[in-house]
Amino acid sequence: MRRGPSRRCAILPVVRDSASIGTARRALFGRRLSGEGRAHAASDGGESKGLRFLGHAARLATACADRRLVGSAIGDYRLARLLGQGRYGSCFEAERIAFQGDSFAVPTPCRVAMKLIKPRKGRIDRQAVWAECAALSLLDHAGVPRWLGIEHAVVRGEEPRYFIVETLCGGDCLSRLLKSGCVFSDGDIARIGSGLIDLVLHAASRGVVHGDIRPANVLVDAGGSVSLVDFGLARFYDRTRDGRECLAASSPDIEGVAETILFMLYSDACRLRDDTRRHGTWRDELHLDEEREAFLADAFFAPEAFGTMEGFRGRFEDAFGFARPIRQA
């Protein structure tokens, strides 16, 4: 993984089809729209631009409000810094400021991650909170945070704030690496993709679907280890089903892996076709051999073609090669 020129780009969107991949790439890398894209953007009118501006302003206001919480004491912890924002909550790094009793069975590390649970429609969605906690409890993988509990406190006389406490995973999120201009080689993509698929298969073996795999929720540390965070949209299914039924249940995570791979492919301009402005989908814009294109197409549009989750892993290894260590810049 090497550092490329700095690029100014928007927050990574979620992409699920071949046409929107091109749109997402243009948002990420700030590339100019093709003639067709400009016509489409113009047809949106000022209303959609206004909505996008309002959405950005709302996220900025939320981030500023959440940063005010840094330094606050929440139960046995003090919020040290804001790590990032998810769809339904902000995540902080926190340090432990008090020892808990001997009756507490799980040893708590000195530094943890604390996810602020934001109300939906004015109230805490308890079912969603417990779904996330249940998912973390079911999984037992070094690349998944471990649930430690829930803390709450009244900060500055405001409404009570509730936090999910988790072990702290190391590394930086892929979205931040992409925004900073990191270029991912084929070896990098093989290593990160293999680690991510290993996490997806572990979750599937426990009947868990992450449901929101994207660069912002994938962490990579200096040694190339991959972690998956933010299980706020996790779902569950009966893991005793046969392989094809498990594959169908895990299709959102399969799509998420393919999406993440595409973002890494787009990080290197050498993979783009010279006439890319005439087109608008990833099939047309990227130099891909038949095996890679078929893998990505099946992941997005026909996951049943993999047969089983192990078949999904095998197809990835055939298309992108076996994992190799990431070269740290």
Quick one: average pLDDT of 149-165?
Answer: 84
Q: How many residues comprise the chain?
A: 329
User: What six digits make up the tokens of 306?
Assistant: 């993999």
- The larger pLDDT score, comparing residue 102 to residue 194, is at 194
Q: What is the mean pLDDT of the chain?
A: 79
pLDDT for 216 beyond 90: yes
Residue 166's beta-bridge partner residues? 113, 147
What's the mean pLDDT in 143-152? 94
pLDDT tens by residue, 271-285? 998 765 555 789 989
**Mean pLDDT: which of 60-74, 103-117, 160-174 is highest?**
160-174
∠ CA 174-142-260, nearest 5°, is 25
Q: Which residue has the tokens 């740290």?
A: 328
Whether the full predicted model's pTM is greater than 0.85, yes or no, is no
d(CA 69, CA 150): 17
Positive/negative CA dihedral, 152, 154, 155, 159: positive
Torsion sign (Cα): 9, 13, 17, 19 = negative
Higher pLDDT: 180 or 321? It is 180
- Name the residue with higher pLDDT: 329 or 180: 180
What pLDDT does 107 receive? Answer: 52
Task: Say whether 11 sits in a helix, a strand or coil.
Answer: coil
| DSSP result, 111-174 | EEEEEEE--BTTB--HHHHHHHHHHHHH---TTSPPEEEEEEEE-TTSSEEEEEEEEPPPSEEH
Q: Which residues pair with 209 in a beta bridge?
A: 235
Most distant pair of Cα atoms in the chain: their distance: 67
What pLDDT shows up at residue 148?
93
Residue 29: band (very low, low, confident or very high) from pLDDT cuts 50, 70, 90: very low
State what percent of residues in the chain have pLDDT above 90.
51
What integer pLDDT is reported at residue 133 of this predicted model? Answer: 95
3-state secondary structure of 189: helix
- Between residues 224 and 46, the one the model is more confident about: 224
CA distances from 215 to 1, 185, 193, 258 (A): 15, 16, 11, 11
Dihedral sign for Cα atoms in the order 252, 258, 264, 266: negative
Q: What's the rounded mean pLDDT across residues 67-94? A: 86
Query: Tokens standing for 230?
Result: 């933010």
Cα separation, 22 vs 15, whole angstroms: 9
